[in-house]
Amino acid sequence: MSRPVQPAGRSTQKEWVDDWKMVDSLDRRAYNKIMNNVNNIIQWTGTAFILAMYLVMNLFPQHTVYTQLFGLLGAVCFFTWTVCVRNYPQMTINAVAMTLCVTGLIRHFG
């Protein structure tokens, strides 16, 4: 973000810098609030897919394609979240989960 031109109403450099810091702080807080909401949506969507996977796996074991599909969608959601928050160990787990689900789907349809 580039710095704006010093406003005419401010007489000293310190007042102008203090105003700039306050605006920057408010922008960061608004951005963090938005990103927290986005992260929550991604995580809850992933949780819904994982729960759907467990539901299909336990109540309808003959539908393995749906189990793999829901597992893949949940892993994609959680992988997206781990990229956003830079959680590398969890990212590895989700990459492996996605690979296994894709492999299962390829074996089923291939």
| pTM, two decimal places | 0.74
Tens digit of each residue's pLDDT (9 = 90 or more) over 19-40: 666 667 778 888 888 889 999 9
Quote the crossing angle between the two packed helices 64-85 and 13-59, to the nearest 10°. 160
Whether the Cβ atoms of residue 51 and residue 71 lie closer than 8 Å to each other: no
* Domain-wise residue ranges, the chain: 13-109
Whether the Cβ atoms of residue 16 and residue 39 lie closer than 8 Å to each other: no
Tens digit of each residue's pLDDT (9 = 90 or more) over 45-87: 999 999 999 999 999 999 999 999 999 999 999 999 999 999 9
| Cα dihedral 39, 42, 44, 50 in deg (nearest 10) | -140
